[in-house]
Amino acid sequence: MENKEDVYSKSLVLIIISSILAIILIRSALYIYSYAVIIIELFIQVVLFYRLRQSQRRDVTDKESISRFGDYFVKDSLFKQLYPLVFIKNDGEMVWYNNRFKDLFSPSLSNGDNIASVVRGLSLERILKQNKSYAQKINVNRNIYEVYSKKIVDAYNDEDIIMVFFNDVSYIGDGTKESIMLIEVDNFEEVTKSISASKIPLLSAEIEAIINAYATRMNAMIQKYDTNKYILSILDSNIEAEMSKKFDILDEIREISLGNKLEVTLSIGVGRGGMNPFENRKYAVVALELALGRGGDQAVVKRADNLAFFGGNTKELERRTRVRARVIAHSLRNLVYESSKVYILGHKNPDMDCFGASVGILSVIRQLGKPCKIVLNDDTRAIDTFLNRIKEQYKNNEAFIDYDTAMNELDDDTLIIVVDVHARGYVSNIELVDRAKKTVIIDHHRRSPDSIEGALLTYIEVYASSTSELITEMVQYMLDKPKLTQIEAEGLLAGICIDTKNFYFKTGVRTFEAASFLRKLGADTIDVKKMFSDNLDTYLKRVDTIKSAVVENNIAIAVCPPNIVDSVIAAQVADELINITDIQASFVLLRINNDVFISGRSLGEVNVQVILESLGGGGHMTMAGAKVNDATIEQVKSKLKQSIAKYLKDGD
């Protein structure tokens, strides 16, 4: 029968051998093939073994001493390892960790804490599975770590202990090396209608040949999953190359000429940087929706925390059919019936398109028999003339409600309709939207990365001239016999006029049809014109701003004098500047308190939306705006000039 000392000696040998094997296996798994380091560590282990063997020879009596030796061994040999290391029980309770782990996650750790509460995003279930490969990847302080685990049997008070260590693989690259690309021919139906039926197969074949050749050049896996839709799996390094070339397939596809009157355009969504292909596909879906929502003919690349846009210089294509307007109108009517009450709100500093659309939908919902109010703040300078008139129709301000009251009266059955805005940063009261259980969005602006999420119904049509045009169409389907008062119809017509600059910009067939319908309801064009009339003081302020304009590369930049604190004047000056010969685009800067507002206008040759997006703004190709917080006019002007220069360079 073996004595205790022999048992103890064999235990020590087993511990040493296990440690040696663990070192080799860990370093092999972590792609570290430094044999010099391994040899040094083995030498240290041997020295530690003999040192401890001599010190413990006189006191080898029981299991507790073996445990003490194990603790000493682990602390001395692994405490300064390169990898964060922690020992946990099956329930996640931490029983020991090294300094690397403590420095990485929290300096205030203590034994007994649960690893799930310390390491955010870590799945204890995956750790317990003891897979041969790493359990999972996590993000820690913008670095990527692979998490490995190994069970140690009867290692702590007769309990199994799991060793968990973390390997920084950020140097390999964040996430999977493969990206997902979704390609959609965004105007296929419209293009096929412009050619003879006999040429449609030729057109389809030409499009498919170009996209397949594109995939071949990138060594990508490609699969066509619908008439005009494709999915590709591509090495991430090839995506970098495409970004540097600004996705030149967008230009290549437009060169197809088979007698088609319309150019063929693509929308591309790319998802990259995810932990796996499934996550990248989710990113790609979001990116494609953004590309389509911004008018198509562009590529959007999405990572977990940022977006990049390419293209988007083609004017939005008007869709003649009203099918979607009818479907949305019927869906909205059902939502209204299912709600206890309805609140309508728009963007900050509402203009006539925002407020006219609000009044139009307010009238419809009230005719459906549901309580409805418009949520208004004090920033009504641009709509005061019309607001005073509409208040005469709705006595005692029964159609309006302030934000505080709306928040207090909000319940789970309240429907919130957001008009003329979908970007969170521009909603007049985003807290009200966030708290609501039911939300509808109706807008005509190009889709923003900062979109409101979770809406039950989203109706964003970038081809439309205005939100008032969209509401006017919906009125005709939500009511069996549409009725609006004269002032309500004039509000909608004024909204269309303000956003089309009296039917100059973004005006399609459906825009005139909407205006014709409103005219039949009694809208007076003279009354609409009076809403936009100015006094002499306002006119002189516009003149002073126009005199400050500086023109370079056919782009004018003007600055409102300090005595002007009205964003409407800035917008009016931007409109007037592009009426001057040889000015293709205009930007007007206005400082209110500590913020700088920018109004941008274009005749179509220059995409003011792309230019102002880099300053946090958005809108359309021909009409956009931005707001820069806590900045001076000179700072914003400098940034604007840099953005214009970059746009012109990319265009060249």
Average pLDDT over residues 26-32: 46
Element (H, E) at 148: strand 143-156
Asked if 622 and 586 count as a contact pair (C-beta separation under 8 A), the reply is no
The amino acid present at 635, given as its one-letter code, is Q
Confidence of residue 152 (pLDDT cuts 50, 70, 90): confident
Nearest to 361 by CA among 347, 349, 345, 338: 345
CATH H superfamily, domain 4-171: PAS domain (3.30.450.20)
Residue ranges of domains in the chain: 4-171, 178-311, 323-531, 536-651
Average pLDDT over residues 383-410: 88
Average pLDDT over residues 298-315: 80
Most confident of the following: 9-23, 65-79, 423-437: 423-437
> What's the confidence (pLDDT) of residue 604?
81
Mean of the per-residue pLDDT values for the chain?
A: 82
Average pLDDT over residues 253-258: 89
Q: Give the residue ranges of DSSP H helices in 245-338.
A: 249-254, 277-293, 323-337
Q: And the tokens for 226?
A: 């619908």
Average pLDDT over residues 157-165: 79
The CA-atom distances, in angstroms, between 568 and each of 379, 434, 537, 636 are 12, 29, 14, 19
- Does domain 178-311 bear CATH number 3.30.70.270? yes
> What's the confidence (pLDDT) of residue 61?
40
CATH of segment(s) 536-651:
3.10.310.30
Confidence of residue 24 (pLDDT cuts 50, 70, 90): low
> What's the confidence (pLDDT) of residue 44?
47
Confidence of residue 565 (pLDDT cuts 50, 70, 90): confident
* 209 pLDDT higher than 70: yes
- 447 SS3 class: coil
If you ran DSSP here, which 8-state letter would residue 595 be given? E
Q: And the tokens for 16?
A: 């040493």
- For residue 596, the cross-strand partners are 591, 628
Q: Is the pTM of this model over 0.75?
A: no
Confidence of residue 115 (pLDDT cuts 50, 70, 90): confident
Most confident of the following: 251-260, 303-312, 502-511, 512-521: 512-521
Nearest to 401 by CA among 376, 378, 383: 376
Asked if 372 and 362 count as a contact pair (C-beta separation under 8 A), the reply is yes
Fold for 323-531, please state it. inorganic pyrophosphatase (n-terminal core) (3.90.1640)
**CA–CA dist 127, 396 (Å, integer):** 64
> What's the confidence (pLDDT) of residue 9?
56
Residues 6+ apart with CB under 8 A from 229: 182, 183, 184, 185
* 33 pLDDT higher than 50: no
Asked if 30 and 167 count as a contact pair (C-beta separation under 8 A), the reply is yes
Locus of tokens 């690397």: 100
Q: Give the residue ranges of DSSP H helices in 368-466.
A: 384-393, 403-409, 430-435
* 610 pLDDT higher than 70: yes
Q: Give the residue ranges of DSSP H helices in 380-447.
A: 384-393, 403-409, 430-435
